[in-house]
Structure 1
């Protein structure tokens, strides 16, 4: 029996960290279409860290380059709290050069809705103990 794509994401509280408004709105709509609860979008490191403190997500999507600042502090805080995250970036070279970010799963921009959901399922929907 095959489940509907993204069904394991239904009801998950996902933090979206993205500084480009159009991309943030696109990601938000894809998540809403798959039954996710969206936190944010947060356009900056500070805004994302405040959201994590106020309303911890179950998972997060992080843009790597936020108006010239790396999202490394957000990744470190999520890792400290054992919250899974996926980097969604057009700057793969920044990911590979950063000692924290290079350990994280990532999806390169541009992406399709199907590729985003597929990668989110791989990262956020693993059975317990895997």
Structure 2
């Protein structure tokens, strides 16, 4: 058991290999993957309706920013973190305070950012 056992996570990532890697890392942390999606509209629907505790959002989904998903999550009070290769400069000011993990990242880095997103670190 880890401190993240049973945490329900939405993964929003358009690179299949990266999504699988994130899912494996989350599984190693005993998280539950509620959904793993690559398209903005699908991510918006799940973010609006699913019972989730955390979301990991790729900033760029096939050329579309994931910020509408972040807005839905913020309105619902669901913690989220961004995953990107663009760094902090890739985030608009309104999301600058949210955890960001720079690609590529390790399982340890992911664990640390999840703790921050959930207020446990």
Q: Post-superposition shift, 1:125?
A: 4.2
The structure whose Rg is larger is 1
Scaled by the length of structure 2, the TM-score of the pair is 0.90
Q: Post-superposition shift, 1:112?
A: 0.7
Unaligned runs of 5+ in 1: none
Check if 1:99 corresponds to 2:82.
no
Scaled by the length of structure 1, the TM-score of the pair is 0.84
Residues paired across the two proteins, number:
120
Aligned Cα root-mean-square deviation (Å): 1.7
List structure 1 segments (4+ residues) > 3 angstroms apart after TM superposition: none
Aligned residue runs from structure 1 range 45-56, under 5 A: 45-56=40-51
Contact 1:62 1:85 in 2 (8 A): yes
Selected match of 1:68 from 53, 63, 69? 63
Unaligned runs of 5+ in 2: none
In structure 1, the partner of 2:114 is 120
CA distance in structure 1 between the aligned counterparts of 2:43 and 2:20, rounded to whole angstroms: 16
CA distance in structure 1 between the aligned counterparts of 2:11 and 2:120, rounded to whole angstroms: 20
CA distance in structure 2 between the aligned counterparts of 1:23 and 1:124, rounded to whole angstroms: 22
Q: Post-superposition shift, 1:28?
A: 0.4
In structure 2, the partner of 1:31 is 26
